[in-house]
Amino acid sequence: MSRDAFVLGHPISHSQSPLIHNSWLAQYGIEGSYRAIDVDPAGLVDFFARLRAGEFVGGNVTIPHKQAVWELADMRDDQTRMIGAANTLIVRSQATDRIISATNTDWIGFAANLDEQAPGWDQQGGEALVLGAGGASRAIIIALSYRGYSKIHILNRTEGRAIALAKELGRHVNAKLSGGGLQDFAHLAPNAGVLVNTTSLGMHGTRFEMLDISLLKKDALVTDIVYTPLMTPLLAEASQAGYKTVDGLGMLLHQAVPGFEAWFGTKPVVTSQLRHIVERAMGLA
Ligand code: ATR
């Protein structure tokens, strides 16, 4: 029985996943391995043959394969089906066969990070604002809806994408979803208990020029899934205006937990020590 896991991507050299999982393997004294494997899109079907042959217990998947593996897998859970992309594969033995199950743990990581950094963040059950309508936005909307937010407004530079996403996901989640443009922030902000940025804006010092953060409710939580830099311009602005903020690095750490548990049988704990190790490796500390 294999005890080997992987992170699959193209390119893959920047992934912090080997550092995270190998730290846990060492910490818990588990005999197993986790390594980065570079496979280009043309090689994905061959890689699945290796999975079906039992070479690995499973692994993580990153850009550009998250949607393709979702399609190639044999099984998907409900949330993963809605998100339309997977970041984790689990190989399960069934009689003489092996079944490849695809799951998306980004939404779990997002919620677990807020549970750790902002306990009670989901107690309000009110309105949430999500910036962006791409792949990352889907996982956040699922998390917010599962954790009781009743109204989620998706605001995007390209308004049509936000409206389409609200319509599509709105059929499957409990929350009421609406889509709009960034100009809608001003009238929605006063009722929002949480603001999440899911766009790449914030990297390389870029910022949303047109959002007046101070319009948010005084007790609103502001969080960003971008973690390079840790303190994005949005978080800096929110923090300066007195809002509670949570950076995105914890989501990266927490999304790794369910995979590790499924492959190696131990539920790992995200510690501040692990966070420091990753911060140092990324040059963030
Ligand atoms: P991902 O899967 O990481 O979410 P994506 O599907 O390419 O990536 O989506 C990127 C998101 O960031 C989109 O919501 C995009 O807005 P558009 O739909 O208008 O393209 C948003 N985004 C990227 N650059 C942006 C910018 N400079 N200003 C505002 N939004 C931006």
Q: Tens of pLDDT along 127-158?
A: 999 999 999 999 999 999 999 999 999 999 99
Element (H, E) at 234: helix 233-240
Residues within 6 Å of ligand 1 by CB = 132-137, 156-158, 161, 198-201
pLDDT in tens, 10-57: 999 999 999 999 999 999 999 999 999 999 999 999 999 999 999 999
State the residue for tokens 């909307």.
141
Which residue positions in the chain have pLDDT lower than 70? none
Distance 82 CA to ligand 1 centre (A): 19
| CB 277, CB 26: distance < 8 Å | no
Would residue 66 show up in a list of annotated catalytic residues for this protein?
A: yes
What pLDDT, on the 0 to 100 scale, is given for residue 206? Answer: 78
User: Under a CB-based contact definition with an 8 Å cutoff, are residues 79 and 109 in contact?
Assistant: no
Give pLDDT, residue 123. Answer: 84
pTM score: 0.95
Write down the pLDDT at residue 196: 98
The catalytically annotated residue of 66, 217, 218, 267 is 66
Ligand 1 atom index nearest CA of 161: 18
Nearest CA to ligand 1 atom 2: 135
Q: What is residue 1's predicted lDDT score, i.e. its pLDDT?
A: 78
